[in-house]
Amino acid sequence: MLVFKLSFCGAVLPFTYGSSFMIEVRRRGLKVAIAGIPKTIDNDIPVIDKSFGFDTAVEEAQRAINAAHVESESIENGIGVVKLMGRYSGFIAMYATLASRDVDCCLIPESPFYLEGKGGLFEFIEKRLKENGHMVIVIAEGAGQDLLTESMQAMDQKDASGNKLLQDVGLWISHKIKDHFARKDKIAINLKYIDPTYMIRAIPSNASDNVNCTLLAQSAVHGVMAGYSGFTVGLVNGRHTYIPFNRITERQNKVVITDRMWARLLSSTNQPSFLSPKDLDEAKKAEQPPSELLEGSNCNDIGEAEKKENNFPHLLHGDNFKDEQQSENHADNSIQTIN
C-alpha cells in the first residue's frame, strides 16, 4: 500500500507521482494499492469540504492578526500588515479575517486591487486612518503579484518543489504604503509588518485537525482493504468518501469573489471591492458552475447520479451518499480495484 500526501502547493506532483505509480504497478501486474490523503493548509483542493491543517492555520493566523491589531492601536496612525499563506487561494486570509473581527482590509489572489487613484487602496487607508486612527491589513502571499515590478522575472523561477517563486508581497506593499504617505506631509504613519508563515507551519495541529487526520488515515486503509486503488479520501458534504485522483487534480479550489462568503467579508471589514465593472464581468465569466455533485436537485436517485458521474457512488449527495462501508459493495470504473 502506498499513501501519498496531496498538496496543490505543488499541484503537478501528486498527480504525476500517483498516476506514474499506478501505471507502473498496472504494467507489472503488482498487487499494490495507491491511496492519497489531502494535505494542504491552503484548502485549495477541490471537491472535498476542507483539507486537514486548514483549521489549525486559521486559528494560528488569528494570533498574528491580534498582535498586529494591538501594535497598530497603541500608536497614532498605526498600520499593521500581516502576510498569510495562500499562493493561489485566499481561504486562510478570508477565514482568519472573518474570525478575528479586527481586520480593516483583506487582500487575496482571487480579487485584484489597485493602489493609486480614486477607490484605490491608498485612498481607503487614508480614510480609515482618519476615522479610526489605526488599521490592520491582511494580505495573502499570492495577492497583487501582477502589481510587483519584478513579477515577470519571478514567473520564470521555481523552487525545489516545482512551485512558482513569488515575490514577497507583504514587504512590497509595506514599502509602497510608507512611500505613499511619506509624500503626504499631513499624515505620518507607523507601519509594522508581520510574517507568521513559519510560526503557522511549525505549530502542532489543533484538536479538530487531529481528529480529522485520524479519520482520513483510517478511511484510506478501509478503502485499500476494500480493493480500491488510485483514490484519495476526503469529506464531501460531511461524509467520508473515496475520490479518483483525476477529480482532485483537475482544478484548484479558489475563493469565488462573487459568492456569499466573500460578500460577508466585505461587509465585516467595510472595505471596497477594489473591482471595476470589467473585473466583475471577468470574475463571473471565470466562475465555474456549481458541480452537480454538490447540487441535491441533480441527485434524484442513486442510479441517475451514478450515470451522471461515471459510476462514482462515493460522491453522491445527502441521503443518497454512500459511506465507506456501503461503497465497498459497488464496482467503480474509475477507481482501480485490486484482484
Is 102 one of the annotated active-site residues of the chain?
A: no
Instruction: Tell me the three cell numbers of residue 212.
Output: 480529522
Compute φ and ψ for 258, nearest 5 degrees. -100, 10
- CA 21 vs CA 35, 80, 335: distances in Å: 11, 47, 14
Contacts of 7 (CB under 8 A, 6+ apart): 13, 14, 38, 39, 40, 45
Indicate the helix (H) or strand (E) that contains 140. Answer: strand 134-140
> Which residue among 42, 102, 104, 209 is the active-site one?
42
Compute φ and ψ for 4, nearest 5 degrees. -110, 145
Q: Which of 207, 242, 239, 217 is nearest to 228 (CA)?
A: 242
Q: Which of 1, 55, 58, 4 is nearest to 232 (CA)?
A: 4
- CA 239 vs CA 207, 304, 318, 320: distances in Å: 19, 20, 9, 11
Residues with catalytic annotation?
42
